Structure 1
Amino acid sequence: MNEKGFGENLPLPVLPVRPRDAHKGRFGTVLIVGGSLGMSGAAGLAGLAALRGGAGLVRVATPAPVLAIVASYERSYTTIPLEADKHGRISLRACEGVMEAAAEADWIALGPGLGRSLGLSRLVTRVYSELSKPLVLDADGLNALARENGQLPRPGGPRVLTPHPGEFRRLVGPSGDTRRPIEERWQLARQQAANWGVVLVYKGHPTLVTDGTRCYVNTTGNPGMATGGSGDVLTGLIAALGAQGLEPFAAAQLAVYLHGLAGDLAAAELSEEAMIASDLIDYLPRAFQEYRKVLSGGQESSR
Structure 2
Amino acid sequence: MDATPIHELPRLPRRAAAGHKGTYGKVLVVAGSRGMSGAAVLCGRAALRAGAGLVQVASPVDVQEVVAAGCPAYMTTGIRQHADGSFGDGTAEETFDLARSADVLAIGPGLGRGQGTGTFVRSVLDEITDKPVVLDADGLFAVSPFTGVARRTAPLVLTPHPGEFARLTGDAAPTTDAERHKQAVAFARMFGCVLLLKGSGTLVTDGANLYRNTTGNPGMATGGSGDVLTGVIAALIGQGLGALDAAVLGAWVHGRAGDLGAGAIGQTALTAPDLVEHLPAAFRELETHW
In the alignment, which of 234, 249, 254 is matched to residue 249 of structure 2? 254
- Equivalent residues in 2 for 1:134-173 (5 A)? 134-147=132-145, 150-156=146-152, 157-173=154-170
Deviates more, 1:277-286 or 1:110-119: 110-119
**SS of the residue 2:19 aligns to:** coil
Q: Does 1:125 align with 2:122?
A: yes
Q: Which residue of 2 aligns with 1:299?
A: none
C-alpha distance in 2 between matches for 1:95 and 1:146: 19
Corresponding residue SS for 2:5? coil
Matched, 1:245 2:215: no
List 4+ stretches of structure 1 deviating above 6 A. Answer: none
3-state secondary structure, aligned to 2:22: helix
Q: Deviation per CA, 1:10-37: give whole Å up to 9, x if none.
A: 3111122112221100001000001000
Task: Pick one of 62, 65, 68 that aligns with 1:65.
Answer: 62
Q: Which amino acid counterpart does residue 151 of structure 1 have in structure 2?
A: T
Q: 1:220 aligns with which of 215, 225, 234?
A: 215
Residue of structure 1 in register with 2:75 after alignment:
78
Instruction: Kindly report which structure 2 residues correspond to 1:10-159, keeping only aligned pairs within 5 A, or say none.
Output: 10-131=7-128, 132-147=130-145, 150-156=146-152, 157-159=154-156
Kept in 1, the 8 Å contact 2:12–2:286? The answer is no
**Alignment of 1:203 onto 2:198:** yes
Distance 2:122 2:232 in 1: 23
Query: Which residues of structure 1 form unaligned runs of 5+?
Result: 297-303
Deviation digits for residues 27-49 of structure 1 (CA, Å, limit 9, x no counterpart): 01000001000000000000000
Aligned partners of 2:104 and 2:133 also within 8 Å: yes
Kindly indicate whether residue 187 of structure 2 is the aligned counterpart of residue 192 of structure 1: yes
Structure 2 match to 1:301:
none
Shift of 1:290: 1.4
1:267 aligned residue (257, 262, 265): 262
- Cα distance in 1 for residues equivalent to 2:176 and 2:252: 23
Q: Give runs of aligned pairs for residues 173-192 of structure 1, distance below 5 A.
A: 173-174=170-171, 177-178=172-173, 180-192=175-187
AA paired with 1:170?
R
How far off is 1:178 after superposition? 2.8
TM-score, reference length from structure 2: 0.96
The CA deviation string for residues 248-302 of structure 1, in whole angstroms up to 9 with x for no partner, is 0011010000000000011011100010001011001100111223x36xxxxxx
Structure 1 residues 169-190: Cα deviation after superposition (integer angstroms, max 9, x where no partner): 000012xx23632321221111
User: Over aligned residues, Cα RMSD in angstroms?
Assistant: 1.4
> How far, CA to CA, are the matches of 1:92 and 1:202 in structure 2?
31
Shift of 1:8: 1.7
Is the contact between residue 134 and residue 158 of structure 1 (CA under 8 Å) also seen in structure 2? Answer: yes
Report the AA paired with residue 226 of structure 2: G
User: Could you say what secondary structure the match of 2:59 adopts?
Assistant: strand
Question: What percent identity do the matched residue pairs reach?
Answer: 48
Conserved in 1, the CA contact under 8 Å of 2:5 and 2:210? yes
Moved more, 59-68 or 284-293: 284-293
Which secondary structure state, in structure 2, belongs to the residue aligned with residue 27 of structure 1? coil
Number of aligned residues: 287
User: Aligned equivalents of 1:95 and 1:86: distance in 2?
Assistant: 17
